[in-house]
Amino acid sequence: MPPAATQAPAPQQKLVISQAEWDRRMAAAPVTKTDLNRLIMDYLVIEGYKTAAEEFSREAEISPAPDFESIQSRMNIREALQRGDVQEAIERVNDLNPEILDTNPTLYFHLQQQRLIEFIRAGRIADALQFAQTELAPRGEENPEFLSELEKTMALLAFEPAATSGTGGAAELLAPAQRSRTAGELNAAILESFSQGREAKLIGLVRLLGWGEMMLSQRADFPKLDLGPRF
């Protein structure tokens, strides 16, 4: 006699949390004004909004006040990279703390790679070839990852120097976003040298919020926070 067919268990019904109940639970969360102020200040400092950080520090009576001079130093370095002046950025970093580049060969290579990109962008092909041969090729021989990045950068010689709109492959190195990536990597290293977080705590909390909503969605229907852009 064949065994009796087993019935599949019914899917578990999700808990439904109303807006009113959700608001009540959020209001009961133990978050103080001081916590929020320090979270905002951390974001302003990490992202380099010096003027806003100074004003907020006074209004919120943050104590001790952040080192506003170091914020300005980081922003000067970032601005130098954003306009393509890599040598100025390197000099400013060394004035700030020479150990930052001495102890981070990957970061230093990326800065030198950015110098090579700027030579190519400006159409200084002879300088680019000389710089790649003397400064970057020896580092590439020591590290296969560096060699791959160098080869990708040298492929830019196949493009017109002004062709910054290309996407994918080597052409994307000429886009403004490449300067921003290099500036962000350097900014994170400077922050780490100051024993600060490499990323604003607020950004990490937003990521955690997204993960929490995803996990909770498996068990409940609830009002989700709209984190979309505002126009």
- What are the boundaries of each domain within the chain? 31-67+195-217, 72-193
- In this structure, are residues 109 and 146 in contact, taking their beta carbons and an 8 Å threshold? yes
Residues in the chain: 231
How many angstroms separate the Cα of 97 from the Cα of each of 49, 87, 90, 110?
21, 15, 10, 18
- CA-CA-CA-CA torsion sign (161, 164, 168, 173): positive
* pLDDT tens readout for residues 120-137: 999 999 999 999 999 999
Closest CA to 37 of 22, 8, 58: 58
Query: Mean pLDDT over residues 28-40, rounded?
Result: 88
**Which pLDDT does position 2 carry in this prediction?**
57
Taking the alpha carbons at both ends of the chain, their separation in whole angstroms is: 69
Q: How confident is the model at residue 231 (pLDDT cuts 50, 70, 90)?
A: very low
pLDDT band for position 161 (cuts 50, 70, 90) = very low
Say if residues 174 and 114 touch (Cβ distance below 8 Å). Answer: no
Separation between Cα atoms, residue 227 and residue 225, nearest integer Å:
6
Token pair listed for 12? 């578990």
Choice between 203 and 119, residue whose per-residue pLDDT is larger: 119
Beta pairing, strands 15-16 & 220-221: parallel
Q: Which two tokens stand for residue 140?
A: 């590439």
Position 15 scores a pLDDT of 87
- Architecture, CATH, for domain 31-67+195-217: Up-down Bundle (1.20)
Q: Max alpha carbon distance in the chain (Å)? A: 87
What is the rounded average pLDDT for all residues in the chain? 85
Query: Structure pTM?
Result: 0.72
The Cα–Cα gap between 90 and 102 comes to 11
Does the structure show a pLDDT above 80 at 182?
yes
pLDDT of residue 157: 84
